[in-house]
A = this chain, B = another copy of it.
Amino acid sequence: MPSLFQRRQFPAALCIFQIAFILLFSLCAHFNEHALPDNKSKVYVNTDYPLFQDIHVMSLVGFGFLMAFLKRYGFAAVSMNLLLCAFVSQWAMLIRGFLSTEFRESWSFTISIEEIMTADLSCTPILISMGALIGRFTPMQFVVMGFIETAVCTVIEYLIITVLHCNDGGRSLVTHAFGAYFGLAVARTARKVRMISKRGTIRVVGEDAFDDNSEDGIDHSELFSMIGTLFLWIFFPSFNAAAQEPEDARIRAVINTYLAMTSCTVITFMLTSLTDRHGRFNMIHIQSSTLAGGVAIGSVANAILQPWHSLLIGGVAAIISVFGHTHIQPCLRKSFLSVTDTCGVHNLHGLPGILSGVCSIIIVLVYDPSYYGDSLHQIYPYFAGGEKQGDRDKYDQALYQALAIIIVFVSATVSGLFTGFILRCGCVNQMNDPTGAHAENAERAGFYYGLPQEVLWRSMEMQREMQMRYRDHESNEIY
């Protein structure tokens, strides 16, 4: 029988965190003037509430169901996704508050529609990292990871956007790229953590994918995953437009993202058919690579003034993403790195995120600053002639954009490795059951470490299922 500590550390941790959050909110958080009485203006129509709702759908339905292709793990994915959203958004509101100038002056910060929207945006990196790790980590480990990652990620975002005045309008670098590389680094360090059911019930994207596809074609896991894909696809323009200003930048962000998504999708279908010996589709590409365009356009969605540039970036993103699935993913696993990326976030968020950073360098060099007129200093605040008395020309700005990429990559990797080490130590519970295929042990592992029970259940069913599996495979051998 496991110790009380082992069985109860998860609820205990949540309890402590939530109480701490409530205390911190009671000390520091208050409403802003819009939410306070006697506010005459019809502010609602000017708030970002509709955008907030779009992003809300993406975080909860989009990311949640995107991970639901895991046959037996679908419910766990969706529910952990919900927990992390609720947990992280409170924590993010607090950190953003502590970083605000208002807090430095008055030891308190405001909560408004905008704050809850940015809090939602802050959930994304954690959900992305989760995608790289799901199937191997316990809820406890995800909560600890979310706590650390949110803090680091928010500080890095503050550094890049507010201190270094880099342009990352759609947050592709500080959200997508950071989340992906953080997750991969954790996966690297914690690779010793036995992967549940490597016997095939969790599909690691890119590994015997095709075989799995035909499997998944039967039950409906893939269709649930498409729910996630479609809602992410639909609301991606809102995601990239959320943090933009002024208004014209927001509208550009919407249109550019939409255009990039469309061309990215067409090219993805082209490549998925091209990369198959018989010209068939690969569901993994359709589920993830079709979204790469939205990620790749993110950092420059507010800066692009030519529609066809967006189409071009979308196409390149599709190529990189599919290439990542077919060639880089396997290397990551086989090579000395031996990083297992469950949902292939590296190909959906990592590489396109870096591409987005590269685009931001190219765009600042290619476009003449004069094009932007007065908007210039809202996109590149530190350009010469702005309120901030900046002294940059386009070449300086390009260097800063490059610096941003390096900072994100390094900070994500280092903090990820660090987090991974913490999550490895025994006190944070984990599934170190050597022979998980064996019902009894798997079960005990579950009892010890508070797994979502269908995982537990699954391990017990495994042998029986495996037998059926093998039977099926024989009949499918032709693939």
Residues of A in contact with B (beta carbons under 8 Å apart)? 7-8, 10-11, 14-15, 17-18, 21-23, 25-26, 29-31, 34-47, 49-50, 53-54, 56-57, 60-61, 64-65, 68, 72, 74-76, 78-79, 82-83, 85-87, 89-90, 111-113, 116, 139, 210, 213-214, 217-224, 226-227, 229-231, 233-235, 238, 246-248, 250-252, 254-255, 258-259, 261-267, 269-271, 273-274, 278-281, 283, 286, 290, 305-308, 311-312, 315, 371-376, 443, 446-447, 449-454, 456-458, 460-461, 464, 475-476, 478
- Complex Cα distance, B82 from A35, in Å, reads 36
CB distance from A54 to the nearest CB of B (A): 7
Query: With a CB–CB cut-off of 8 A, which chain B residues contact A44?
Result: 247, 250-251
Q: A254, B308: Cβ atoms under 8 Å?
A: no
Q: Report which of B10, B23, B280, B312 forms a contact with A452, defined as CB distance below 8 A.
A: B280
The chain B residue sitting closest to A15, CB to CB, is B270
A22: which B residues are within 8 A, CB to CB?
Answer: 263, 308, 311-312, 315
Q: How far is the CB of A121 from chain B (nearest CB, A)?
A: 14
| Residue pair A75, B248 in contact (C-beta under 8 Å) | no
| A37 & B373 in contact (Cβ 8 Å cutoff) | yes
A17 and B78 contact, CB distance less than 8 A: no
- Nearest CB on B from A223, distance (A): 5
Instruction: Determine the distance from Cα of A36 to Cα of B373 in the docked complex, in whole angstroms.
Output: 10
Alpha-carbon distance A36/B376, docked complex (angstroms): 12
A82 adjacent to B14 (CB under 8 Å): no
Task: Give the contacting residue for A8; candidates B25, B274, B311; CB below 8 A.
Answer: B274
Given contacts A75-B283, A214-B457, A247-B42, contact A267 B14 (CB under 8 A): yes
Contacts of A454 in B (CB 8 A): 213-214, 217-218
Residue of B nearest to A35 (CB): B251
